[in-house]
Amino acid sequence: MADRHASIEPVGEFARVDHDRAARQGMPEFVYAGHKTPEQVAAIMTRMVERQSYALASRATPDHAAAVASALPAACYDPTSGLITIGRMPSQTAGLAIVVAAGTSDLPVAEEAVGLLDFMGDRVERVYDVGVAGVHRLLAVTDRLAAADVLIVIAGMEGALPTVVGGLVDPPIIAVPTSVGYGASFGGLSALLGMLNSCAPGVTVVNIDNGLGAAAAAHRILRRSGLRLSEGNMPA
Amino acid sequence: MADRHASIEPVGEFARVDHDRAARQGMPEFVYAGHKTPEQVAAIMTRMVERQSYALASRATPDHAAAVASALPAACYDPTSGLITIGRMPSQTAGLAIVVAAGTSDLPVAEEAVGLLDFMGDRVERVYDVGVAGVHRLLAVTDRLAAADVLIVIAGMEGALPTVVGGLVDPPIIAVPTSVGYGASFGGLSALLGMLNSCAPGVTVVNIDNGLGAAAAAHRILRRSGLRLSEGNMPA
Amino acid sequence: MADRHASIEPVGEFARVDHDRAARQGMPEFVYAGHKTPEQVAAIMTRMVERQSYALASRATPDHAAAVASALPAACYDPTSGLITIGRMPSQTAGLAIVVAAGTSDLPVAEEAVGLLDFMGDRVERVYDVGVAGVHRLLAVTDRLAAADVLIVIAGMEGALPTVVGGLVDPPIIAVPTSVGYGASFGGLSALLGMLNSCAPGVTVVNIDNGLGAAAAAHRILRRSGLRLSEGNMPA
Amino acid sequence: MADRHASIEPVGEFARVDHDRAARQGMPEFVYAGHKTPEQVAAIMTRMVERQSYALASRATPDHAAAVASALPAACYDPTSGLITIGRMPSQTAGLAIVVAAGTSDLPVAEEAVGLLDFMGDRVERVYDVGVAGVHRLLAVTDRLAAADVLIVIAGMEGALPTVVGGLVDPPIIAVPTSVGYGASFGGLSALLGMLNSCAPGVTVVNIDNGLGAAAAAHRILRRSGLRLSEGNMPA
Amino acid sequence: MADRHASIEPVGEFARVDHDRAARQGMPEFVYAGHKTPEQVAAIMTRMVERQSYALASRATPDHAAAVASALPAACYDPTSGLITIGRMPSQTAGLAIVVAAGTSDLPVAEEAVGLLDFMGDRVERVYDVGVAGVHRLLAVTDRLAAADVLIVIAGMEGALPTVVGGLVDPPIIAVPTSVGYGASFGGLSALLGMLNSCAPGVTVVNIDNGLGAAAAAHRILRRSGLRLSEGNMPA
Amino acid sequence: MADRHASIEPVGEFARVDHDRAARQGMPEFVYAGHKTPEQVAAIMTRMVERQSYALASRATPDHAAAVASALPAACYDPTSGLITIGRMPSQTAGLAIVVAAGTSDLPVAEEAVGLLDFMGDRVERVYDVGVAGVHRLLAVTDRLAAADVLIVIAGMEGALPTVVGGLVDPPIIAVPTSVGYGASFGGLSALLGMLNSCAPGVTVVNIDNGLGAAAAAHRILRRSGLRLSEGNMPA
Amino acid sequence: MADRHASIEPVGEFARVDHDRAARQGMPEFVYAGHKTPEQVAAIMTRMVERQSYALASRATPDHAAAVASALPAACYDPTSGLITIGRMPSQTAGLAIVVAAGTSDLPVAEEAVGLLDFMGDRVERVYDVGVAGVHRLLAVTDRLAAADVLIVIAGMEGALPTVVGGLVDPPIIAVPTSVGYGASFGGLSALLGMLNSCAPGVTVVNIDNGLGAAAAAHRILRRSGLRLSEGNMPA
Amino acid sequence: MADRHASIEPVGEFARVDHDRAARQGMPEFVYAGHKTPEQVAAIMTRMVERQSYALASRATPDHAAAVASALPAACYDPTSGLITIGRMPSQTAGLAIVVAAGTSDLPVAEEAVGLLDFMGDRVERVYDVGVAGVHRLLAVTDRLAAADVLIVIAGMEGALPTVVGGLVDPPIIAVPTSVGYGASFGGLSALLGMLNSCAPGVTVVNIDNGLGAAAAAHRILRRSGLRLSEGNMPA
């Protein structure tokens, strides 16, 4: 176990980077920029890139992006998803993830999921604007959804989309409630409760607006599904 | 206004029957047995029948039913809906209400709605067990639903059924959340929030398990729709 | 069903316009601007107007309005209701909707309802500032309310207005809680719960501040009430 | 202050009776039987009666009543209000309290308030079954309500009655939400929130089903209102 | 009743001033500026002053104050309480109200109560910064509190002050929870619940931060207490 | 699509069995006995067995079990999990699911998951009583957990177990909160929130006590993982 | 670390006893009987007693007690606290804990704390029925409370007692909210929030009704306070 | 008691400084700047420093700091913790407090605790960024944590860190939930509930983000632990 402790490295006084996480969890530590200063984010990502050549931060504002870019010119920032990425993990999987979103307003969450899957080297496709109030739009893509190895299904308001998808096709379904809505949507609580109480069996749920978590869960599934790559391909 | 006050009649010390309600609201006062003793329910219904020949109590237990039956032998009790009825209102409407329920467990609420509509002389049909996890069951009855003058759509768990129905057809939709579910359904709160946040425009909602209220709302709509009967047919 | 799928048209990568919705639901798709960028709103409305000559967006800010106006000079923006409208649907109904509001502060929600009904070609009147703490103001308009085919009743704070109205007159009542209030009003939750628990039978409820949804529900009712227009008048 | 401490007297190991409370608060300590055993209630009331000749316990079941009756044969038990009383306080006030209740189901709470006021020697009258869904019943008693020195207004469901009363007349109003209702009434929370958000100024609220607390508050007001009795009449 | 209706006067399209309210409720209508525009507030206050020479608006910002001042130069604005006042009602009462506040942070709410009582011509005193964590500060003023005809007791955080005061003295107590606090104070909910569950009998509660409502309730009590003025003094 | 509709079969008036569900979702319809009568459960299972030779009901009481046993003597009832099973599905998967439970009190939920996986022919193992307050118990089984294709991790109280597991190993993790706890556990809400906010990326969550849903989700994953069986093995 | 794993011992299939916990946490594992069967509790306690001569179970019903007594005749059961104890830990501490309770109804929680401290060999005293509505009762015992090494302060309803105690004396304070109350006490939530928002600095809180947890926390403090015993006295 | 009252000193009209608090509670009054104006904070701190040479304000913004600095040039401001300090209390304790934080984002709360302990003269160390998703980081510091006299354990999101720490070591544990998180973390509620429901016995909890309260509680414990200083050292 001594090896593991050796791989934990302090960054200033405020963080310890856990370089073994990729080996244990199949993915490295990501930087949640939401509650950190631009300087903290830049310092942590710099330390990460020195060891493993790639890094990702989520919920980043343009200020975060600017601080990272001046330290790491190779950094890319996508304002829709709020992701800053440097490099990309070697691909470990062969299956297909599809990200399904109910409405235009759910795009930031959907793109966060797409962006992380892409960063981790997973194959991912988009199916957007297929809300349940127009169920024919959804029926038109049923066969395509059935062919996926994992589905990430994103919706706000009443959050019914994963239930309807779960009744139509058999891949694993990760439901993501979004804070899209107003009034009694209570910041996404309504969609969250709708997904937890889904009458379609086998729907699992992540936190409100948590596109990142959904992509991480999908990656865990993809690593077990379809043609698996050799252990030697695992990032270190 | 003196006439109106004259028509309010005390029952013992605990109630005042509002005999003008039918004229004002298009339906008489109903007796909510839930928080009343069997004796209170029997006394109130007796006074009502003396004036208008019909009466209805909801949320009645077998104990309520027995007390009413010994005072009013013509009373009928339906244990599924929990309704006690005596007689029936003269019919005022010509349109059609359809009661749609997601699952077998929603039957008590659905039958409460059906029973009240029937008591008020409205035309009503049932479409049961058409939950959204098997959306094909619902698509099979779309044309029938589209022909109704008002739809009462009942569901527990995630409460998505009214949203899907509202996306398929154009009649007025009264959604009824039920307390069917467990865990994070929170006694029907999840279904209630789902319905209030429906992404299908024009879905309205009543209280959890409130089949009675949904039927009353449907009756208000039916009185305005299709071929209207003459004012002279109104019950007094 | 192929016809239906053909009528779903992508707008950029972020939206699919559902042109058949008017046929299925009796009203077209509306654009909820709240979570969309000005550019997205302008693009979607432009595509809609190309097909059907009219379009409506809700919860629009002046920024949304400016973006739409430069693409579609015929667009009208009402800052009180937050509605952007282009053209107007052909009228399908003959009945009367009345929008009743408890206080001056409820105006934005009330005007959203009035604006949508007007856009859909429905006949609509206003009765404002008739809160229950001065019940005589309400009694003075009872006869007028009784003559409506549907009532939209809007209130914040304790949300008692629909209950009192529901006890006075018999038209269908759609209650709209508003977020007007403070402290334990919890952003409109108090009014919402008050309306759901109304002791007047037959009151239905929509989401907090959802004037649009109330108008859509009223339109569903008006299409079934009074003199109905021929099917040929329906917008496509 | 030594005198005050001397007047605190232990009862077994589980209670200390505060005999000076009447002097400080204008009313003695009452026994809340709800969470106590019959034996505890009987022991505490026995000790109280030894000092001051009267005592009252609330939320008492028949079991509590039986235990008290065998220790104190003069005890009276009213099953509707759940009050056990022994004797009666000397009257301290001359004003009038009126207890107003919305429906038959609110009787237990209303009678708890009436019973305590009567026990404390206050003048009290009842006005029951005047819910806001039939506002004419309420208008018929407006003049009577206006003549009271304090009003206790009790309602479940949406809890709108105190608001309407508060808009009609000027006495102090103590609103009591009850747990009457179901579904989204959440055990009286809906009525509580409705009353706290009342748009009629000057309505105050006590806990759900707390008839006792409302009567205690009314007693505090009555001691300050109308013709005040001499300090010498105060119970000790 | 025609007289009453005659006294309801429209202001633009957005308000109806209820000039009879003072006669019915013992105080005139106040203007809640919180959800109104500066122009609306100025228009409504102008209309009020034309009829009764005095007017009051609450929750006013400096923008509201400026708009009113340019229409009504006699208007006074107090930024701590957020009150705009013009003139003052003729005094109707002789009793004493004391406003008790737990901490410095509760001042805005306390001053709103003081300001309204002063505007209505009631006698009012302040006792501030006597929180329960230093109970000796409170004991030092017990005799003064006992001499009041009504107490308004204001606290945030755990909201325990009214309970301790209610155990010490016998006047009527109106508790006002404030939104002072953070974390699990949930915007004043914690203080509100603490006050509703007070173990001191006879404590009544108003909405969070509702200094205005507390003063209105105190005014209702003062009108019934001590030496009452003749009916002829009542404002019209 | 006609084929699909043909396969929906009514049971009495209260249910429609969806025999195609196995083809669409990879598992048949299960009977949730919780809200159904013993007679309804027996009737539905009888109809199912006639078509597909196996059936499963969850949340069954001994009364449900007795009714089913008299109709279907081959039925097995496990009182710990509350499952009634008849026959078993042909196995479709080769991977391994491990059910991990924090404490003895979580057994009913864990056994519901184990029982359903076993019924569906999946390979499943148990690791029980490894709560985070004794993290060494968990570390002792880390290698075993890492070898699974999917983990179902069950905990009540603070719900921290899935987070710690998710930080140690890389398989997909389905977290199940249980209602084990008291006070501020709020019937499992605390564990549910803890799991949704897990700081370990890639943890997904199902409803409180929903062992069945977790097993269904695991089955969806197993069907995609490891050696996949031929489509011909799929149950019909 | 191998030693530690060796000391984890399975009990049947449903539990693993963690015999090293006393060394790590300063107290052994306790058995929470609340969600376990009588047979499970008896089996676990039997295994514990074989190793360490003492054991304790909480939230035990008479049925649990009977099952344990027939396996372990030396077991003692106290129905007020719900504790089953066998033997007693060797004393490790010299300081004094005082358990302070607001009312008679809080006794079960207070006695659970007293019973566990006594079982662990700690010195403990009781001060009961000193609620804040009679603050003089509390002031009378201030000096006694100031002399304690740790205070456990227990209250339901508004939960103000720990705040007032925390303002009077300086020992560490562990506040325990109880579910005593009704209506808006929401099963102890009100008291819990009151304690978390205490304006007295340094008050810490445990779960609702969690006398056991409070005693465990007090034990952790006592082990660090006053005269500490030698490490050799530690139980194994 | 006269002495005590003499030591309460008014500051302007808005505050009373309680100079005896240090004697009663072992620490002086702190200034919560959060809801106060810069001028109020400067005035109160000035008055405090005149009497006791040291003072501390929490939740201070740069504006607060500037106002204090111009009045009291010796004031220090730490923007991370939000503390303004002037001087330092004489040390009263000899034990060791360790502040443990789960992540970088929890720093402001952790530093508030560290800063107050330091101000009160207590010995304090930091262990940061040891979240439970990488439990090996935590195991690496177990021995160090076991040597503390009190642990303050800070975490957001699911709040599991105190539970895992509580299972590893035996010092008293004060858990601090933080508002770090998003979606269903509900501003720290999720972490708060997780900590209150900890399955590790003896964990106590303070309000969300309440680093100050945790340090005050730790100070109460340190005053009782290890080598205690003579009473003569107590600050006045």
| pLDDT beyond 80 at C140 | yes
State whether residue F149 sits within 8 Å of chain A by CB: yes
**What is the nearest CA distance from G119 to chain E, expressed in angstroms?**
33
State whether residue G201 sits within 8 Å of chain D by CB: no
**What is the nearest CA distance from C136 to chain E, expressed in angstroms?**
7
| Two structure tokens written together for C81 | 């209701």
Q: Neighbouring chains of B at 3+ CB pairs within 8 Å?
A: A, C, D, F
Strand, coil or helix: G226: coil
- Note whether H136 contacts A4, CB cutoff 8 Å: yes
In the predicted model, what is the mean pLDDT of chain A?
A: 89
| pLDDT beyond 70 at D129 | yes
- Note whether G105 contacts D34, CB cutoff 8 Å: yes
Hey, how many other C-beta atoms are within 10 angstroms of the C-beta on D87?
16
- Note whether D213 contacts E192, CB cutoff 8 Å: no
**Cα–Cα distance for residue pair H191/H118, rounded to 1 Å:** 26
Q: Neighbouring chains of G at 3+ CB pairs within 8 Å?
A: D, E, F, H
State whether residue B104 sits within 8 Å of chain F by CB: yes
- Which residues of chain B lie closer than 8 angstroms to F154, CB-CB? none
State whether residue C143 sits within 8 Å of chain E by CB: no
State whether residue H178 sits within 8 Å of chain F by CB: no
- Note whether E189 contacts G193, CB cutoff 8 Å: yes
Q: Give φ, ψ of A219 to 5 degrees.
A: -65, -40
Going from the C-alpha of A52 to that of each of A28, A73, B207, H133, the distances in angstroms are 9, 16, 56, 20
| pLDDT beyond 90 at E35 | no
| pLDDT beyond 80 at C15 | no
Q: Neighbouring chains of C at 3+ CB pairs within 8 Å?
A: A, B, D, E
**What is the nearest CA distance from B179 to chain C, expressed in angstroms?**
15
| pLDDT beyond 60 at D223 | yes
What does the pLDDT look like over G26-38, one tens digit per residue?
A: 888 899 998 899 9
Across the interface, of C134, C157, C163, the residue whose CB is closest to D197 is: C157
Q: Give φ, ψ of F154 to 5 degrees.
A: -120, 130
Between B80 and G20, the higher pLDDT residue: B80
pLDDT score for C233 = 40
- G58, β-bridge pairs: G32
State whether residue C132 sits within 8 Å of chain D by CB: yes
Across the interface, of E133, E159, E164, the residue whose CB is closest to G194 is: E159
What does the pLDDT look like over C161-220, one tens digit per residue?
A: 999 999 999 999 999 999 998 898 999 999 999 999 999 999 999 999 999 999 999 999
What does the pLDDT look like over B154-165, one tens digit per residue?
A: 999 999 999 999
Q: Neighbouring chains of D at 3+ CB pairs within 8 Å?
A: B, C, E, G
| pLDDT beyond 70 at G83 | yes
What does the pLDDT look like over B59-81, one tens digit per residue?
A: 999 999 999 999 999 999 999 99
What does the pLDDT look like over B153-193, one tens digit per residue?
A: 999 999 999 999 999 999 999 999 999 988 989 999 999 99
Average pLDDT score over residue span E156-168: 95
Which residues are CB-neighbours of G58 under 8 A, at least 6 positions away?
A: G30, G31, G32, G33, G34, G81, G82, G83, G112, G116, G212
Which of 29-68 (E) contact H at CB < 8 A? none
What does the pLDDT look like over A128-185, one tens digit per residue?
A: 999 898 888 899 999 999 999 999 999 999 999 999 999 999 999 999 999 998 898 9
Half-sphere exposure of B212 (CA within 13 A, CB side): 25
- Note whether F226 contacts A221, CB cutoff 8 Å: no
pLDDT score for F85 = 98
What does the pLDDT look like over H58-75, one tens digit per residue?
A: 999 999 999 999 999 999
Q: Neighbouring chains of F at 3+ CB pairs within 8 Å?
A: A, B, G, H
pLDDT score for B19 = 65
Q: What percent of chain D has pLDDT over 70?
A: 88
Between chain E and chain H, how many beta carbons pairs sit less than 8 Å apart? 57
**What is the nearest CA distance from F20 to chain B, expressed in angstroms?**
9
What does the pLDDT look like over G52-81, one tens digit per residue?
A: 899 999 999 999 999 999 999 999 999 999
pLDDT confidence tier of residue F167, bands split at 50, 70 and 90: very high
| pLDDT beyond 70 at B5 | no
Nearest CA-CA partner of D112 in D213, D26, D218, D220: D213
- Note whether B184 contacts F179, CB cutoff 8 Å: no
What does the pLDDT look like over E89-109, one tens digit per residue?
A: 999 898 999 999 998 889 999
- Note whether F205 contacts A205, CB cutoff 8 Å: yes
**Cα–Cα distance for residue pair B77/B84, rounded to 1 Å:** 4
**Cα–Cα distance for residue pair G21/G5, rounded to 1 Å:** 11
- Confirm if D102 and D108 have CB atoms less than 8 A apart: no
State whether residue G208 sits within 8 Å of chain E by CB: no
State whether residue G105 sits within 8 Å of chain D by CB: yes
**Cα–Cα distance for residue pair B218/B151, rounded to 1 Å:** 8
Token pair 């239905």 in the structure block, residue = C204
State whether residue H120 sits within 8 Å of chain F by CB: no
Nearest CA-CA partner of D219 in D174, D169, D155: D174
* Chains H and B touch, using 3 or more CB pairs below 8 Å: no
- Confirm if C218 and C174 have CB atoms less than 8 A apart: yes
Interface test with A, best of H104, H127, H179 (most A CBs within 10 A): H104
Across the interface, of B167, B189, B190, the residue whose CB is closest to A132 is: B167
Tell me chain B's radius of gyration from C-alpha atoms: 18
b/e code E64-90 from CB counts within 10 Å (16+ = b): bbebbbeebeebebbeebbbbbbbebe
- Confirm if C190 and C159 have CB atoms less than 8 A apart: yes
**What is the nearest CA distance from B59 to chain A, expressed in angstroms?**
26
Look at D26-30, G44-48, H167-171 and tell me which has the smallest mean pLDDT.
D26-30
The chain G residue lying nearest E181, using CA atoms, is G197
- Which residues of chain B lie closer than 8 angstroms to D140, CB-CB? 5, 8
pLDDT score for A2 = 32
- Which residues of chain F lie closer than 8 angstroms to H132, CB-CB? 132, 160, 163-164, 167, 199-200
**What is the nearest CA distance from C145 to chain D, expressed in angstroms?**
16
pLDDT confidence tier of residue A226, bands split at 50, 70 and 90: low
- Which residues of chain H lie closer than 8 angstroms to G95, CB-CB? 224
Architecture, CATH, for domain B96-225: 3-Layer(aba) Sandwich (3.40)
Domain residue spans of chain E: 8-86, 96-225
DSSP for B194-212, written as a single string:
HHHT-SSTTEEE--TT-HH
- Which residues of chain G lie closer than 8 angstroms to E181, CB-CB? 197
**Cα–Cα distance for residue pair H211/H97, rounded to 1 Å:** 13
- Note whether A209 contacts H183, CB cutoff 8 Å: yes
pLDDT confidence tier of residue H224, bands split at 50, 70 and 90: confident
**Cα–Cα distance for residue pair E95/E223, rounded to 1 Å:** 8
The chain C residue lying nearest E193, using CA atoms, is C184
